[in-house]
Copies of this chain bind each other. A is one copy, B any other.
Amino acid sequence: MRVLILGGDGYLGWPTAMTFSKKDHEVMVVDNYLRRDLARKHDVEPLWSVPNLLERVRTWHEITGHTIRARIGDCCEYSFLAPIFKEFQPEAVIHYAEQPSAPYSMLNHEAARITLNNNLQSTMNIAWAIHEHVPTCHIVKLGTMGVYGTPNIDIEEGWIDIEHKGRKDRFLFPRQASSFYHTTKIQDTDMLWFYVRTWGIRVTDLQQGPVYGIETDDTILDDRLKTIFSYDEIFGTVLNRFVVQAVSGYPLTVYGKGGQTRGYINIKDTIRCVELAMLNSPKAGRLNIFNQVTETFSVNELADKVARVGRDRGHHVEVKNIKNPRIEKEEHYYNPTYSGLKELGLEPHLLTDDVLNSMFEGVEKYKQNIQQHKIFRGVKW
């Protein structure tokens, strides 16, 4: 397939591009380096630096013989994005091109403005480019489990049948998120669902939980092919960050009571889920939604796992409950459904001790790069 990967320079975008390229899809990546720029600006660069996207695709070609095309530019600029759709005629577009951090979106007005504009304008532009230039192209958009928040009812995969005063209808599952970033992901789903109904486009929305992991089958081929790995509170997801904290002797910081429960997923499974979604395009005028997680843990459970494996490896690991800097429930009901992607063929990589040990190994090699001041920046909401 011809696959356009927007946000192809990111933590997930780059490994996705390599995997699809190796499977003989015709891949083009697009990125404007927003995430790199924001990380540098806020002094929270990843644990190791990676070459720029054009260098990465050259390295990929040198090592595997496969070609990934790359364009550097901003998906919020329709005059940049539309011609790419027109010329490349993608059969699928993987939309990772959003500002992905909840804490970043809560930093200040400017950060909120960038999040809102980036996440909604990029999504709108994709819908329009498809409508105008390649109407059968399938949008696979990365969403987040965070859109659902922590409702007191079971979380279904995107939809719910409501019976009310003796009548029935089917609706998007109710969503109320706990950060501005997550709210923009509610908004982009509403936008795509509107264009799906109105124009008959095809969309799959993947409501993903926090991703963890360092390596995929392709990132290990050469150090220059590694994906980024953030360990700060702004761009680092919780499990990745905990491993770095354990390795560097920084206490594992549990917010409040630590009963916050979420669904998690290994980076390898993310890429497989995106592939499965892409290969199973909905019909015209349909929006598929999958909950993209493989198991759920409370923050306390994650901290305990990391502490235990860390101590076994000789690290001195403390777990410390700190005052919660966020507005969120610390104890709540949480029962999400996540069977759709397994029905399509996903075989989950669960969070075993082996997986944790390999994450520790990956981080230990770069221990000298860890800068403890980057771990917490005091973002509050």
Contact = CB atoms under 8 A, between A and B. Distances in A.
Contact of A174 (B112, B124, B152, B172): B172
Contacts of A175: 190
Given A183-B190, A183-B191, A152 B176 contact: no
A381 B193 CA distance: 15
A113 interface: yes
A171 B177 CA distance: 12
A376 to B, nearest CB: 20
Interface in A161-184: 162-165, 167-169, 171-172, 174-178, 180, 183
Interface residues of A, number: 44
- A109, A165, A167, A197: residue with the most chain B Cβ atoms closer than 10 Å: A109
A78 B113 contact: yes
Contacts of A153: 162-165, 167-169
Contacts of A187: 120, 186-187, 190-191
Nearest to A150: B169
Contacts of A327: 197-198
How many copies of this protein are present in the complex? 2
A366 interface: no
A154 interface: yes
Given A165-B153, A167-B154, A190-B183, A198 B381 contact: yes
A129 to B, nearest CB: 9
Contact of A121 (B116, B176, B178): B116
A190 B164 CA distance: 22
Contacts of A174: 162, 169, 171-172, 174
Interface in A186-209: 186-187, 190-191, 193-194, 197-198
- A112, A180, A194: residue with the most chain B Cβ atoms closer than 10 Å: A194
A151 interface: yes
A167 B160 CA distance: 14
A165 B109 CA distance: 40
Contacts of A357: none
Given A172-B174, A186-B190, A121 B112 contact: no
A128 interface: yes
A117 interface: yes
Nearest to A183: B194
Contacts of A124: 112-113, 116
A164 B164 CA distance: 11
A333 interface: yes
Nearest to A106: B198
Interface in A334-381: 381
A124 B124 CA distance: 18
Given A160-B162, A187-B190, 16 more contacts: A109-B125, A109-B132, A113-B121, A151-B171, A152-B167, A153-B163, A153-B164, A153-B167, A162-B174, A171-B176, A172-B174, A176-B193, A178-B198, A183-B194, A186-B190, A198-B381
